[in-house]
């Protein structure tokens, strides 16, 4: 990160430990029941204040126009809705794969909202930032609140939970998946029963998007077929990544070493609290 960055913050990945689609709204969005956990594996975002009101992203992302980058969209939305006249310089060190079901873009947006709330001294509450973030993506609120949670609605109604913090092996198939394409697939199961929190947490976990993603994306099918049979891997979000949990880091590392050379992956710790919040606290929240 360049020395001009006044704040350097992580934008962590999430996993959907399970994901049920229980219905559809009139606007096309789906009602979900899902369980979010954070990973200690993050993008890194640098922020600095500008007096001239401009929002400048110094690190373009391949394939995404500057104005469409969620960092820029988040900063502009916050500027508009708070009436703030300050601007920002932004830098992104992108580590999370895109279109991967790890929520990278949403996490980037949430980190910019939290970071600029601090730098611009807006003092907006988490509820206000989450409501603003929801306009940018259904996954943004959980990154704002920063606690592992069951999520209902389109993913914005959050009920914090304390989960074990296992190590995860995440396989990254070589494809970027459009969330909208998966949710608009006619074969998507949309009628899973609505269950209580206790039922959801105690039953075997599954992802309703997985059959559709496996049918549409041969790269995910191939990755799943290549994965070692000793562990069960499941899709996160609308993919493309597949993950499996392990109690010990050594076991997760060993599993990653068993991956075929052509299959990329990483090991990361599952977290109940977002590392963004630790960093903000350390800087005097
Ligand atoms: C699949 C998840 O990652 C699970 O956590 C999220 O539901 C997706 O969250 P996201 O990427 O922030 O999604 P958004 O950017 O809000 O929406 C992308 C597209 O996915 C579809 N979408 C998204 C969320 C949802 N509950 N129902 C949907 O049908 C909509 O067609 C939307 O146009
Ligand atoms: N800062 C950003 N980081 C990643 N993607 C971005 C960003 N800004 C815009 N995008 C666009 O958003 C798309 C989805 O990216 P993202 O990595 O968030 O998907 P995802 O991991 O599947 O998310 P989710 O799990 O929320 O569905 C990308 O393909 C890209 O076109």
- CATH code: domain 1-285 is 3.30.230.10
CA 241 to chain CA centroid, Å, is 12
Residues of the chain where predicted confidence (pLDDT) is lower than 70: 284-285
Write down the pLDDT at residue 151: 98
Name the closest-CA residue to atom 29, ligand 2.
Answer: 99
Which residues lie with the beta carbon below 6 Å from any ligand 2 atom? 61, 64, 68-71, 98-106, 108, 139, 176, 179, 237-238
Nearest-5° angle of CA 47, CA 50, CA 52? 150
The beta-strand segments (E) located in the chain are 7-24, 30-50, 55-57, 87-93, 149-152, 157-160, 167-172, 234-235, 242-246, 264-271
What ipTM describes this predicted complex? 0.95
Q: DSSP of 161-216, one letter per residue?
A: ------EEEEEE-S----HHHHHT-TTS---PPP--HHHHHHSPP-BTTHHHHHHH
pTM of the model: 0.97
Per the CB < 8 A criterion, the answer to whether 7 and 115 are in contact is yes
């Amino acid at each position: 990160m360049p020395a001009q960055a006044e704040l350097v913050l992580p934008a962590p990945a999430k996993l959907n430990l399970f994901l049920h689609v229980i219905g559809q709204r009139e606007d096309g969005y789906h009602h979900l029941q899902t369980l979010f956990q954070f990973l200690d594996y993050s993008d890194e975002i640098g922020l600095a204040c500008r007096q001239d009101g401009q929002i400048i992203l110094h690190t373009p992302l391949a394939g995404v126009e500057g104005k469409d980058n969620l960092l820029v969209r988040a900063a502009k939305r916050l500027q508009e809705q708070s009436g703030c006249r300050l601007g920002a310089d932004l830098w992104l060190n992108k580590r999370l794969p895109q279109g991967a079901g790890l929520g990278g873009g949403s996490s980037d947006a949430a980190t910019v909202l939290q970071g600029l709330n601090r730098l611009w001294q807006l003092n907006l509450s988490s509820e206000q930032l989450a409501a603003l973030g929801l306009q940018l993506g259904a996954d943004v609120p959980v990154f704002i609140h920063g606690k592992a949670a069951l999520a209902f609605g389109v993913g914005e109604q959050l009920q914090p939970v304390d989960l074990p913090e296992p190590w995860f092996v995440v396989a990254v198939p070589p494809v970027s998946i459009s969330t909208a394409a998966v949710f608009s697939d006619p074969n998507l199961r949309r009628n899973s029963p609505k269950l209580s929190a206790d039922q959801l947490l105690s039953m075997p976990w599954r992802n309703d998007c997985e059959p559709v993603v496996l049918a549409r994306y041969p790269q995910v099918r191939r990755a799943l077929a290549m994965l070692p049979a000793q562990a069960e891997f499941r899709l996160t979000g609308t993919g493309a990544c597949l993950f499996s949990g392990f109690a010990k880091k050594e076991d997760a590392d060993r599993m990653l070493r068993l991956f075929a050379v052509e299959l990329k992956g990483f090991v990361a710790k599952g977290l109940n609290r977002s590392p963004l919040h630790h960093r903000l606290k350390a800087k005097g929240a």
